[in-house]
């Protein structure tokens, strides 16, 4: 029989105040398998660990049960402890007598009895524990970043600057994302493009970064360290290797269309570059609107192209890349004004969203930075900004705070005032949330220096009256209804995840929350990891956030990737579910429930085969397996039965 050491922790008085340690020790000292029993005030402290190590060596223990807190907290601590004493770390078990016992009971007698049962059951498990070794896997030291906004760019640069190769995939023709559309940034008012474009240029020139713009991830297989990703490179209608980005084709193209980059306010051509600083500096043909593609007539771009790059090839190409880590940085969109009927439903031209106003303010925008309203180009003299549009509105729209709207609205009002000195900006707000370095000062400056009028309250409706927009709201501080006849209204619409995120998360096998934002592995302690090993998160795809937060998180994700790549081999938890080939007859029921595609039926051999590295040890297959061939390492049916019997049985 195994020689098991049982070590009871008082956890100060966290445990010992409710569990009679002495009585428990007395009840357990002769339990089958127990070779030694001992208590200590803080088992996780250095002396506590030394005590365990000494007993393992002195008594030749080959199993240890630490009766203390939840394994979530200290399992790793004690695994390292026993390993240092030469014992296999998977023969260490924790009996949780704190969270599951002392903290939830008051009656000392009952709690002590329960603690004894918990410990007995864990001793039963420990008796049947086998020595396990981590599974070693090779790593492909190349990362793929999906989404090339500032989050993706920062992640890619950090990883590439650490010496690892990066593939940066972007759906749009250019990198830059939403930040490239912004005018100036709060709270310093530096030009967004001016601070972003150097990073974009660095990406385009970086020897370790391979750019794949106008591309989408269509399939992902494999596992941490060894992903295979299939990328669709959308047809551009020309050969990007030949194109030199001179822009002559764009100049000569006769077909004019609203520019997406300018939120529909400016124009672009059917062959176009989204914006002048686009990276890569290449054009694409909008097949749906190109006259030549639609009617076969025109072809002017092909005639004028000095390098003969244009071939009108519509065939998408697919490439397969092998990478070791994937960072999902797919960014955000804003809630569409069209879906907000009480604010005009997108039918009032002078009611725009924040992103459109950014383009109006931008020096590179359709108005060259002059504030002019879309309907007639007049300079608005009274302008109203509404915050929390669709955010913090669980009854009608979304319950969450979009986080950046307070600050960018303050910025909008301030920038407006800087351009239109005799204009009056009004801001309707619910609460001003100015958490961030220099944010509160920025807000005060807008109110005091720029005389922005802040009204605490909500707006119930907007309507067009002549050339004015009538804004009907309430000031909840004075309890008065307010009506403002404004020339223009800017809605700070909620931040929502970008389109296609659900499909992508299915490919990546990562979770999303109820609003479609990516779920992190732990909200506090693992904020940049997904629950799938090797897939990391950055930017607004996870939750609304501002640029500094996005950049820090992106660097965090990059650092996690570099940490992963710094390993010689990957170590995979050996608590997995294999197949007992002596029993398995290949019914394949376990493969139906495996969420990781780790199990495949080999019909010819009448066996299920397991990819051990893909297995995350969730145990779903072990529960589903009707023959008992699928057993989770150190959580076998026998062990679980023995544990149940120890708790519920007479002996317990």
Residues of the shown chain interacting with another protein in the complex, contacts defined by CB under 8 A = 580, 582-593, 601, 603, 606, 620, 623-629, 631, 637-638, 641, 648
Shortest spacing between CB 590 and another protein, in angstroms: 8
Angle between helices 108-128 and 21-28 (to 10 degrees): 40
Shortest spacing between CB 198 and another protein, in angstroms: 48
Q: Are 52 and 78 in contact (CB under 8 A)?
A: yes
Q: Are 539 and 554 in contact (CB under 8 A)?
A: yes
Q: Are 304 and 269 in contact (CB under 8 A)?
A: no
> Among residues 74 and 600, whose Cβ is nearest to another protein?
600
Shortest spacing between CB 599 and another protein, in angstroms: 10
Q: How far is C-alpha 527 from the geometric centre of its chain's CA atoms?
A: 8
Q: Which helix (H) or strand (E) holds 415?
A: helix 405-419
CA distance 98 to 109: 15
> Among residues 389 and 584, whose Cβ is nearest to another protein?
584
The region that residue 173 occupies, defined by phi over 0 for left and psi between -120 and 50 for alpha, beta otherwise, is alpha
- Residue 285's DSSP bridge partners are 271
> Among residues 243 and 608, whose Cβ is nearest to another protein?
608
Shortest spacing between CB 508 and another protein, in angstroms: 20
Shortest spacing between CB 631 and another protein, in angstroms: 8
Match 């002078």 to its residue by tokens: 350
CA distance 191 to 443: 19
> Among residues 13 and 623, whose Cβ is nearest to another protein?
623
> Among residues 8 and 621, whose Cβ is nearest to another protein?
621
3-state secondary structure 628-648: CCCCECCECHHHHHHHHHHHH
DSSP 329-364: ---EEE--GGG-GGGTTT--TTEEEHHHHHHHH-TT
Shortest spacing between CB 182 and another protein, in angstroms: 41
Strand duo 256-258 + 190-191: pairing: unpaired
Shortest spacing between CB 330 and another protein, in angstroms: 25
Shortest spacing between CB 27 and another protein, in angstroms: 23
CA distance 275 to 183: 14
> Among residues 195 and 624, whose Cβ is nearest to another protein?
624
CA distance 264 to 268: 9
Shortest spacing between CB 374 and another protein, in angstroms: 46
> Among residues 612 and 637, whose Cβ is nearest to another protein?
637
Q: Are 56 and 82 in contact (CB under 8 A)?
A: yes
CA distance 383 to 368: 19
Shortest spacing between CB 591 and another protein, in angstroms: 6
Q: Are 5 and 64 in contact (CB under 8 A)?
A: yes
List the one residue out of 75, 24, 84 whose CA is nearest residue 51.
84
Shortest spacing between CB 525 and another protein, in angstroms: 30
DSSP 520: P
SS3 526: strand
Shortest spacing between CB 578 and another protein, in angstroms: 14
> Among residues 382 and 637, whose Cβ is nearest to another protein?
637
List the one residue out of 331, 330, 327, 353 whose CA is nearest residue 340.
353
Q: Are 247 and 239 in contact (CB under 8 A)?
A: no
Shortest spacing between CB 509 and another protein, in angstroms: 16
Q: What is the largest CA-CA distance in the chain?
A: 94
> Among residues 59 and 592, whose Cβ is nearest to another protein?
592
> Among residues 491 and 577, whose Cβ is nearest to another protein?
577
Q: Are 41 and 12 in contact (CB under 8 A)?
A: yes
> Among residues 72 and 602, whose Cβ is nearest to another protein?
602
Shortest spacing between CB 142 and another protein, in angstroms: 32
CA distance 624 to 419: 67
> Among residues 477 and 623, whose Cβ is nearest to another protein?
623
> Among residues 149 and 586, whose Cβ is nearest to another protein?
586
Looking at the chain, the number of H-run helices and the number of E-run strands are 17, 32
CA distance 480 to 497: 36
Give, in order, the Cα–Cα distances in Å from 55 to each of 89, 190, 220, 366: 15, 63, 49, 76
> Among residues 285 and 630, whose Cβ is nearest to another protein?
630
């Amino acid at each position: 029989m195994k020689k098991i050491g049982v070590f009871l922790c008082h956890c100060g008085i966290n445990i010992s105040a409710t569990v009679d340690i002495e009585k428990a020790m007395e009840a357990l000292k002769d339990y089958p398998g127990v070779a030694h029993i001992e208590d200590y005030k803080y088992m996780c402290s250095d002396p506590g660990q030394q005590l365990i190590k000494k007993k393992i060596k002195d008594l030749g223990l080959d199993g240890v049960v630490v009766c203390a807190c939840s394994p979530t907290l200290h399992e790793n601590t004690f695994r390292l402890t026993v390993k240092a004493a030469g014992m296999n770390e998977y023969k260490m078990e924790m009996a949780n007598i704190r969270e599951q016992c002392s903290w939830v009971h008051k009656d000392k007698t009952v709690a002590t009895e329960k603690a004894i049962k918990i410990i007995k059951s864990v001793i039963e498990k420990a008796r049947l524990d086998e020595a396990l070794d981590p599974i070693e896997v090779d790593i492909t030291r190349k990362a793929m970043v999906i989404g090339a906004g500032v989050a993706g760019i920062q992640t890619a640069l950090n990883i590439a600057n650490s010496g690892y190769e990066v593939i940066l995939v972007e759906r749009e023709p250019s990198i830059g994302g939403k930040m490239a559309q912004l005018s100036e940034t709060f709270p310093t008012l530096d030009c967004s493009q001016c601070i972003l474009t150097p990073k974009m240029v660095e990406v385009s020139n970086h020897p370790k970064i391979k750019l794949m713009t106008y591309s989408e991830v269509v399939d992902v297989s494999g596992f941490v360290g060894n992903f295979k990703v299939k990328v669709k490179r959308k047809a551009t209608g020309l050969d990007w290797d030949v194109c030199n980005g001179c822009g002559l084709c764009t100049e000569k193209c006769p077909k004019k269309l609203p520019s997406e980059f300018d939120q529909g306010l400016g124009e672009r051509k059917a062959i176009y570059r989204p914006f002048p600083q686009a990276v890569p500096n290449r054009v694409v043909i909008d097949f749906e609107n190109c006259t030549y593609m639609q009617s076969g007539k025109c072809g002017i771009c092909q005639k004028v192209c000095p390098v003969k790059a244009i071939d009108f090839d519509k065939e998408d190409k697919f490439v397969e890349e092998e990478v070791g880590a994937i960072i999902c940085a797919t960014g955000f969109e804003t809630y569409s004004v069209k879906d907000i009927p009480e604010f005009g439903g997108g039918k009032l031209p002078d009611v725009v969203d924040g992103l459109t106003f950014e383009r109006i303010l931008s020096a590179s925008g359709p108005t060259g930075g002059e504030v002019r309203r879309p309907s007639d180009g007049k300079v608005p003299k009274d302008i109203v900004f509404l915050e929390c549009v669709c955010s913090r509105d669980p009854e009608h729209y979304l319950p969450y705070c979009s986080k950046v709207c307070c600050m960018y609205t303050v910025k909008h009002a301030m920038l407006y005032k800087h351009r239109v000195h005799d204009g009056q900006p009004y801001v309707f707000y619910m609460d001003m949330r100015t958490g961030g370095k220099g944010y509160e000062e920025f807000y005060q400056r807008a109110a005091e220096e720029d005389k922005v009028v802040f009204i605490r309250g909500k707006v119930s409706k907007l309507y067009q009256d002549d050339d004015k927009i009538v804004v009907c709201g309430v000031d909840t501080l004075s309890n008065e209804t307010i009506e403002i006849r404004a020339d223009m209204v800017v809605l700070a619409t909620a931040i929502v995840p970008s389109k296609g995120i659900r499909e992508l998360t299915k490919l990546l096998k990562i979770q999303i929350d109820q609003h479609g934002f990516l779920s992190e592995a732990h909200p506090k302690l693992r904020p940049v990891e997904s629950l799938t090993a090797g897939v990391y998160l950055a930017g607004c795809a996870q939750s609304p956030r501002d640029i500094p937060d996005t950049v820090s998180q992106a660097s965090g994700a990059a650092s996690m990737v570099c940490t992963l790549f710094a390993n010689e081999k990957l170590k995979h938890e050996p608590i997995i579910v294999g197949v007992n080939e002596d029993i398995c007859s290949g019914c394949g029921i376990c493969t139906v429930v495996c969420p990781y595609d780790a199990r495949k039926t080999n019909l010819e051999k009448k066996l299920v085969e397991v990819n051990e590295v893909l297995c995350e040890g969730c145990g779903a297959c072990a529960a589903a397996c009707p023959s008992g061939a699928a057993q989770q390492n150190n959580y076998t049916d026998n062990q679980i039965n023995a544990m149940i019997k120890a708790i519920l049985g007479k002996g317990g």
